[in-house]
Chain A
Amino acid sequence: MGHIEPTSAALGRRDFLVSAATAAGGLAIGVSIPGMAAGLPLPGQTWDDDAPAGEVNAWIVIEPDESVIIRVAKSEMGEGVLTSMPMIVAEELACDWTKVRSEYASSNRNLLEQGVYKSMLTGGSSAVRASRPYLQQAGASARARLVEAAAKRWSVPSADCQVANGVVSHKATGRSLTYGALAGDAAKITLAQEPAIKTPDQFTLIGKPTARLDSKVKVTGEAIFGLDIRLPDMVYAAVTTCPVPGGTVKSYDAKAILGHRGVQSVVALPNGVAVVADRFWRAKQAALALPIEWNPGAGAGTNSAQFREDYRAALKGPLQNAKTVGDTEKALGEGKLIEALYEVPYLAHATMEPLNCTVHLQSDRLDIWMGTQAPDITMGLAAKTTGLKPEQIFIHNCYLGGGFGRRAINDELVQALAVAKTVGKPVKLVWTREEDMRHDRYRPQAAIAFKAALGKDGMPTAFTAQTAVGSIMQSIKGMLDFPMPPGVEPLAVEGLVNMPYAIPNIKVDAVLKNTHVPVMFWRSVGSSQNAFAVESFIDELAHEAGQDPYQFRRKLLEGKPDFLRVLDMLAEKANWSQKLPSGKGRGIAIHESFGTIVGECVEVAVDPKGKLRCERVVAVVDCGHVINPRNVEMQIESGVIYGLTAALYDEITVKDGAIEQGNFDSYQMVCLADSPKIETYLALSGGTKWGGIGEPGTPPIAPALCNAIFAATGKRVRELPIKNTDLGNRV
C-alpha cells in the first residue's frame, strides 16, 4: 500500500478512517483494518508486504512522480518535528524541498528491525539533538546510492556525477536522471563505504526559515487527531475515574443507565467505570448519571493547604545533598544574610485535545490509534496490559493535540484496553475535559528555600537551595521507567545544581516527598519551578546589593561567554537601560535547560489597583545551531505563553483528596488579549552545541515577569500563580 493509505471506496470516506492529509501533501497514517475489507493491506507493514518500490532506505521513499516521503520517528505535537526532521534528511539528500512530505515511521517496524528508527520517544526537547547525526546519515546514504545507481546506468564513475535538487547529472556527457527514476535501483545498492555527513558550515537548507509542512492540513480540518478516528462498527466509551487519585470503585448501579438510548454496557475499571454506547455523547451523559460509590484510598481527606505545610515542614529535613561547593555554613555566617521561600503549585498539562484512544483488540493482534509521544513505550504498555507480543501490536500515531509531556504515559490506553476486552469491537475511549484535568499527572508542587550571604562588595559569597518536591520517577514507576543516576533525582534539582552563577560556596539539598497526586514531566520539568525560584532570588540579591539586576548577573557570569552573549544581547534588544514611566517595570531572567540558554526580559504595567498587564517579552536564544529559525521563534513564543499562563493564573488544588479544577473556567488560559508582543533573537554559539527548543522558552518567563512586577511595584512575588498576590497599593 505504499506510504499512502488508500481510501476504501467500499467502506466510504466517513465510515472509514482516512488520513485526509495524504492528498494534500501532509501526514499519512496507516489506517486499514485487517479483516474488515478483503484485500486491504495490513497497517504498519507498508515496508513488508507491499514495500513501496521507491523506498531507498527506512527513512526515505521517492516516488516516480519525484515526491519525496521522509519518515519521522518522533511525534508531532506542535513542536514542528514533521518539518525539522525532514529538513535534516533533505539537507543531505539534495532533493527538491518543495516535493518533500512527511509521514510517521512505524513503531512495529522499529521493533522488528531492531531499532532502525532508534528511540521514538518525543520528549526532553531532544528530537533534533538526538536524531540529527543519523538523519543526516540517512539522507547522505540515500544520496550516495542514487548517484551510484545513475553511475551504473551510464557506466561512469560515480565521482564524476553531480547532484542537485533531486537530479543526478553527468556533465561530461550531458546526461541526467531524476531521483524518481533512480529510486528503485538505488534501493538495491550496497555502498562500499557510508558517505561522510556535512558539517554546519556546509548546510544550505538547514538554518533557512522554512514554512511548516503540516500547516495546510491544520487549516482545513483535514489533520487527523486521535479524537477524529472513526472505524466501522466502533463503539464509544466515556469514563468516570475515581475523583481521588489512587482510589477505586466500591460499587455502582449499572441498572440506572442501561435503559438509556444507545447505552450498551458498563465496564468496571481498576480506577473507575466506563460506559459504552453507540455515540460518545450518549456514553458521556450516561457516565455522568451513573451512581458510583468510591473507595477513595490513601488520599482521602487531604487538601492543598496541608500539602503546603507538609512541604514547608519537609524542608526541615532530613535532606539529601545534591551539590556542595566550598563551605556554605561558614560563609553564611560571615556576610549579610538573605533568606527567601518560594512555592509553586501542582499544574495540569491541559492539552487542547483531551486524552483519548481508539483500540481494536483481537486474539492475535491489537491496533491502537492515538496521539502518543512514545510509540515504543505505548507498545510495551499495551503488551503488558493485554499479554500480546509487542510484534502483534500496531500503533497508528496521529497528530497530537498538544503533548507537553502528558502524552508520554498513556493512562487512557490502559482504560481503553480494559473496555475492549469486554466488547469485542473497536472502542474509542474519550476523556472529557473534566476527566482530563482531574486525572492528569501533574507538575509537582514544591517549596524551595534559599539562603545567601552578600560580601562587602555586595556580591554573594554563599548560596544554598533546599527543595521539597515530589519525585517524578517514583510517581511514574511501572508506567515509564528510565535509568537514573544514583543520588538525588535530577528532575527535582535541575536548574538548581546547574545554576550558572560563580558563587564560591554553594549547597543544594533536596527532600523528595510525594502525595497521592501523581506527578510527571510538564513542559521544562524541574526547570519550570527551579528557574522561577533561582532567578527571582538572584534578583532579590541584586536589589539587596543595590545593584542593577542585569549588571549583577553579568558579574556573576564572568567566564561564561555563551551566557554573557545572550544576556548582553537581551539587555540591548530589550532597551534595558531606558527608563520606564511609573507603574511600569522591566524584569530579566536567564536559564539554561535542555542544552539551550534562553534569556527573557519582560515589560509589565501594573495599575494602582494591582491590575497587571504583560506588555512585551524579548527573548534571546542560544541553542548552538538552528534547523529552522522560524520554528525557533514559534517555539519560544509557545514556551513563553505556556509559562505565562502558569505564572499568572494556574494552580491545581486538592480538596478532600480530589482535584478541584475541572475546566478552563477554573483553570484559566492566557488568551489573545493577555498575549504580549514577543520578540525572539538568536545569539548562537555554534561549535559542537546543539540545544533543544521545545521547552527552554518556558523556564525564564515566570521569574522575568515577577522581577518586572517587583520593578514596577516593589512587591516580590514568591508564590505562583501571581493571581494569589495582591499587586495593588504598591510599596
Chain B
Amino acid sequence: MIVLTVNGTRHELDIEPETPLLWALRDEVGLTGTKYGCGIAQCGACTVHVDDQPVRSCSLSVGDANGTKITTIEGLSPDGSHPVQQAWIAEDVPQCGYCQSGQIMAAVAFLKAIPKPTDADIDENLTNICRCGTYPRLRAAIHRAAAATNG
C-alpha cells in the first residue's frame, strides 16, 4: 500500500509502486490540475511539490514518493489567492492554460529558493515548456510575485 499525503489529505493507494506520481494524482486521487505533457520530465506540466521540493511528477514513481507530503496546484491556495497565482492573473499569463499549473508550481518553489530573482536566475532555473509562448508575461509575473512577496 502506498501512502501519500496530498494537499493535507492522507491517501492509501493500492497501486503498482512503479506508477508515476502524475497518474496516481490524476487517476487515483482525482486531482486533474496536474497535467501530462511528455512523460519524460522535459516539459514540466506535471510539476508538483514533494516534501516542498519541485518535482516533475511524471518521472517519480509513487513507490519513491511513498510517505511524502505532496502539494498540487489545487492545494496551493483555497481560492487562487497565492501571490504567484495573483501575479499570473494580473499579467494575463495563461493562454491555452494547459502548462500553467506546472509553471506556477515551478515558480512558487523557485521564488522560495530565490526570493528576488534576476532575469538570469529565471532563465537558468525555470525550464518548463509553454507552447503558447507565454514566456514574456510569465517572466513579468515572476518579478511581480517577487515584488509582492518581498514588499
Contacts and interface: CB of A to CB of B under 8 A. Distances in A.
A-B complex is real: yes
Contacts of B122: 672
Contacts of B33: 220-222
Interface in A196-219: 211-212, 214-219
A661 interface: no
Contacts of A603: none
Contacts of B132: 78, 352, 402, 638, 641-642
A637 B91 CA distance: 13
A217 B32 CA distance: 13
B73 A675 contact: no
A228 B20 CA distance: 17
Nearest to A437: B38
Nearest to A678: B136
Interface string A660-695: 000111000111110101100000000000000000
B2 interface: no
Contact of A218 (B100, B127, B138): B100
A352 B98 contact: yes
B43 interface: yes
Residue of A217, A218, A353, A403 ringed by the most chain B CB atoms within 10 A: A218
A351 B131 contact: yes
Contact of A220 (B20, B80, B136, B139): B80
Contacts of B40: 433, 663-665
Contacts of A350: 131
Contacts of A79: 95
Contact of B95 (A78, A225, A353, A354): A78
B137 A225 contact: no
B36 A281 contact: no
Contacts of B34: 221
B43 A664 contact: yes
A227 interface: yes
Contact of B135 (A230, A401, A671): A671
Interface in A274-294: 279-282
B96 A671 contact: no
A14 interface: yes
Interface in A121-158: none
Nearest to B39: A433
Given A671-B127, A675-B135, A220 B85 contact: yes
A611 interface: no
A400 B96 contact: yes
Contact of A672 (B27, B96, B101, B138): B138
A401 B38 contact: no
Contacts of A677: 136
A219 B100 contact: yes
Contacts of B79: 220
Contacts of B16: 261, 282
A164 B19 CA distance: 57
A358 to B, nearest CB: 12
B130 A216 contact: no
Contact of B43 (A236, A352, A672): A352
Contact of B133 (A212, A281, A640): A640
Interface string B68-104: 0000111011011000010011001111111111001
Pick from A223, A354, A672 the residue with the most CB of B within 10 Å.
A672
Interface in A498-529: none
Contact of A433 (B26, B37, B74, B97): B37
A624 interface: no
A77 B95 CA distance: 7
Contacts of B26: 228, 280
B23 A402 contact: no
A303 interface: no
B66 interface: no
B129 A664 contact: yes
Interface string A630-652: 10001001111110110000000
A265 interface: no
B129 to A, nearest CB: 5
Contact of A638 (B23, B31, B43, B95): B95
A236 B23 CA distance: 12
Contact of B80 (A212, A219, A675): A219
A404 B27 CA distance: 28
B127 A399 contact: no
Contacts of B149: none
Nearest to B87: A219
A400 B96 CA distance: 6
Contact of B45 (A279, A282, A352): A352
B36 A354 contact: yes
B15 to A, nearest CB: 8
A215 B135 contact: no
Nearest to A228: B32
A228 B32 CA distance: 6
Nearest to B123: A673
A221 B130 contact: no
Nearest to A428: B27
B92 A638 contact: no
A460 interface: no
Contact of B88 (A219, A221, A230, A670): A219
B72 to A, nearest CB: 7
Contacts of B27: 236, 279-281
Contacts of A430: 36
A77 B32 CA distance: 18
Contacts of B92: 211-212, 215, 630, 634
Contacts of A166: none
A657 interface: no
A280 B37 contact: no
A196 B80 CA distance: 41
B5 interface: no
A78 B96 contact: yes
A352 to B, nearest CB: 4
B76 to A, nearest CB: 8
Contact of A215 (B28, B93, B131, B133): B93
Nearest 5 CB-CB pairings of A with B: A221-B33, A641-B133, A401-B98, A218-B97, A78-B95
Interface of A: 14-15, 24, 76-80, 211-212, 214-225, 227-228, 230, 236, 261, 279-282, 350-354, 399-404, 430, 432-433, 630, 634, 637-642, 644-645, 663-665, 669-673, 675, 677-678
13 contacts: A212-B92, A212-B94, A222-B33, A350-B131, A352-B37, A399-B98, A640-B133, A641-B133, A671-B127, A672-B122, A672-B138, A675-B133, A678-B136
Given A639-B133, A669-B131, 14 more contacts: A15-B30, A24-B80, A211-B92, A216-B89, A219-B80, A219-B100, A227-B36, A352-B35, A352-B98, A352-B99, A352-B129, A400-B96, A402-B131, A403-B96
